[in-house]
Amino acid sequence: MTHFMKNFYAAGLLALAIAPSTGCIAASPKTMPGPSSTEACSTEQLTDLIGQPASEANIAKASQVSGARSVRVIKVGAMVTMDFRTDRLNIELSKDGRIARLRCG
């Protein structure tokens, strides 16, 4: 065995000996600050928009009335993230571009 191979082998053993001790400590989950209840959206007063065209005016109205800090318009078949945000209004559209569903999250 050459000098290089001995050093390489020793370094590998050292790495294996150290590896289990790094990262075995369970990290405590970090709590992300979420929106307060005053920032959460509500769809209770938006039922009149179901079936209406997803026009800029209707989207702006939904945003204002819901109290949402952000709005996400979701077309049929669109991929969206699964993160839940109480301050976001999701406007789901039908195939013909009409508002099919309104939900917070």
Superfamily of domain 47-104: Trypsin Inhibitor V, subunit A (3.30.10.10)
Confidence at residue 14, expressed as pLDDT on a 0 to 100 scale: 47
Q: pLDDT for 4-14, tens place per residue?
A: 545 545 555 44
Percentage of the residues of the chain whose pLDDT score is greater than 70: 63
Distance CA 52, CA 58 (A): 8
What does the domain layout of the chain look like in residue ranges?
47-104
User: 38 exposed, middle or buried (CB, 10 Å; 0-12, 13-18, 19+)?
Assistant: exposed
Q: pLDDT for 69-92, tens place per residue?
A: 999 999 999 999 999 999 999 999
